[in-house]
Structure 1
Amino acid sequence: MRRLLRRLLPAFLLYLLFLLATLPARQLLPLLPEWLHLAEVTGSVWAGSAAQWQAGSLRGGPLLWSLRPLALLGGRLEYDLAIQMPGGSARARLGHGLAGDGYLRDLAWTQDAAGLPALPWGGVRLGGELRLDVELAEFEAGWPLQLDGRLRWQDAALRAPLQLALGNLQARLDVDPQRRLRARIQDDGGPLEVVGSAWLAPDHGYGIDLQLRARPGADAGLVDTLGLLGRPDAAGRHRLERQGRFQW
C-alpha cells in the first residue's frame, strides 16, 4: 500500500499543478471573504491579477499574485503578492497550511500617509511616510493569533483639521493576551515626545493611551494643541486616552 501511495503521489501533485495553472482565477471569486472585492480579474489561480481591489475603506490596484509551487511539497498553498494603492505599494507572501491556518510573511508596505482615509475623529488627516514590516502573522478565522511587526512613521504630521509637524514615530506590533492587536508606540526624535500604546479588538473596538510632551523648541502650535488635552502632570506630560469602535 505504501509503495502504491509513493507512486501515486507524484501523479497527484502533477495533476494539482496542472489544475492550478489552468483554472481561471475568476471562478474562485465567490470564495473570497465578504470584506474583499476584486474587479477585472484575469489569469489563473497559478498567476493572475485584479485591476482593482477593495478591502473596507481601502482600495487600489492592481493586485498581482503568483503561486510558490515548492510550498506544495510542504503541504502549504503559498503565493507571492504585489499590491498597489494610491500613494503606496506592498509585497508579501500569503499562505494556508494543511489545517487551514492562514499566515502572512515578509510583508513590506510603504505608504504616503496623505493617501489614507481620514481618521474617525473630526476628519483628522495625516502626512509623512509610513513603513510597515511584518516578519510573520498567523491567522485564525481572519484574525491574527500571532504577529511580529514594526510600523515606522517618518516625518509624521497632521494635515487636517490643523497642520502640525510631529517628528518620527515608531511602534512594535504584536497580539496581547486578550487577542487584541497591540502597538507599543514611542518617538524617534523630533518636536513631540511620545510613549504609550494602542490596541484594536476583533469586534473593531479600539483604545489609545499615550503620554505626550513637546520638546524644547517645538512649534507654538504643537504646544497649544497639547494644552487642549488638559493640564500636564508634574513631568510636563499630557495624557491622551480614547476608546471606541470603528464602523467598518
Structure 2
Amino acid sequence: MQTITRRLGLRPAMLALAVGLMPLAACADPGGTTSTTSTSHTTATAGDPDMKDQMATTLEGTSPTIADALRSDTTTITPVATAALSDWQVVDVLPRGGAHPQRWFMGVKDEGREVVVLSGFPQRWAQVADGARVTSADQAEELAGVYADATRDMSRGYARIESVDDMRFVPSPSQAESDRIDALRRERTEIAAANASGDGPWTVRLWTVTDGDLVRHDVEVATDGAITDTTQVVEADLPVPQTV
C-alpha cells in the first residue's frame, strides 16, 4: 500500500498590500501566487455579478486566464459551506461551455478584493483558514470535505464517495472486472460518509476515488482550522473510466 502524508501548519495569512499607483500586489511562495489584492471597492456577495467582476479585477495581473473566465457570462460562482471559517469564504468557480472546460476552487475575502486559488495548492489552505474556529465534530467533517475537494489537483480524476455504490464503474466490464466489482461491493463495506472522531482536534475519515484508485483519507482537523491529510491507496486501478 502507498501512504502519502501532507502536513500543513496554520500560519497567519500573508496579505498583499496595494501601494502607490500600483492597482495590484501579490504575495508569492515557491508554489506561485498565494494571494492577490485589489484596491478597488465594491459591495458584493458570492454569486453576484459584482463579486465576479471584483474577483476578475483582483486576479487579472497574476492569473489572466482565470480573470477572463470570471468575466464570462456562462461562468458560475457557488459558495461552499464552511461554517468554521472566519473572514474567508470558499467558492466553486465553474466556467460552462468551451472545448476544454476548467474549474477552480478559491478562497475569497473582502468582497473579492483578496482571492486565493486553492485548486492544486494545499499549502494555501493555511491562509484561508486564518482566524477559523472549529467547535464541533460536524464542523470538522465539513471542513475536511471542503479541504479535500478544494485543494485537489483538478487535472486528476476525482470523486468523493460514501459507499461502493457511489463508484461509477466502466459501462461494459469484462468478466474479470465484473468479478472485481462484486468483490468491492462485498468487501469494502467500511466506505462511508465523512466521520469525525475525537474532541478537538478531530480525525475525519473520508473516501475518494482519485485517478482510478480508491483512497482513504484520515484528515486531522485542529480547532484553529489547520489540516493534516494522510492518504492511503487501498485499491489501485479500479475498473472505472479514466476520467474518474
Coarse TM-score class (shorter-chain normalised): 0.3 to 0.5
Q: TM-score, length-normalised on structure 2?
A: 0.34
Q: TM-score, length-normalised on structure 1?
A: 0.34
Point out the structure with the larger strand share.
Answer: 1
From the CA coordinates, give the structure whose radius of gyration is larger: 1
